[in-house]
Structure 1
């Protein structure tokens, strides 16, 4: 692979990993691998304040890792990027799986 192209790919990978490198964002993605969740559900699962969860979801949306859909007053979030789903699954396997 030519160096300029490799540099571009490395920059993209670094940005992706930076988005995942926050504990709160990573935990949100872990919960979203189980399926779509509302902000309220994520607050409960993470034992965190709405403002903190919303801030991390905004960052994940900005980075294209999650998507949102509105159903009445509820906003539902899900993983949008297949790379994020695969990476979180691998991290779960490495760090969270018991046995």
Structure 2
């Protein structure tokens, strides 16, 4: 078994915490879930998610400043896409755990799962 470099581990843990802090918001998760499907302009994101314009702009700014998404301007339209490979991988795991449900499989609510 190889020994773990604690300084490297500490730095990686700090980076992971930063990503998780940005993801710890329902609106940002919803936006990233939508953006995981491809590039979207702001108006399409608003229509797809139901997030109001002020909140949408605020959350997209947070995602952009965190380096998770990038913008591309085409005329008057601003398009957003995910550029963080780590964020994309986390979104894929979250999608698999929370959004995909196989037919005939009933998910156990979290309150019931603790009683198992």
TM-score (norm 1): 0.95
Equivalent in 14, 19, 25 of residue 16 of structure 1: 19
Q: How many residues align?
A: 99
Structure whose alpha-carbon radius of gyration is higher: 2
Moved beyond 3 Å, runs of 4+: none
Point out the structure with the larger helix share.
1
| Aligned pair partner of 1:95 in 94, 98, 105 | 98
- Give the deviation of 1:5 after TM superposition: 1.9
What residue number does 1:71 align with?
A: 74
Q: Can you give the 5+ residue segments of structure 2 that lack an aligned partner in the other structure?
A: 103-116
Task: Give ranges in structure 1 of 5+ residues lacking alignment.
Answer: none
2:89 aligned counterpart, secondary structure: helix
CA RMSD of aligned residues (A): 0.8
Higher relative contact order (CA 8 A, sep 6+): 1
Q: How much does 1:2 deviate?
A: 2.0
CA distance in 2, matches of 1:70, 1:53: 17
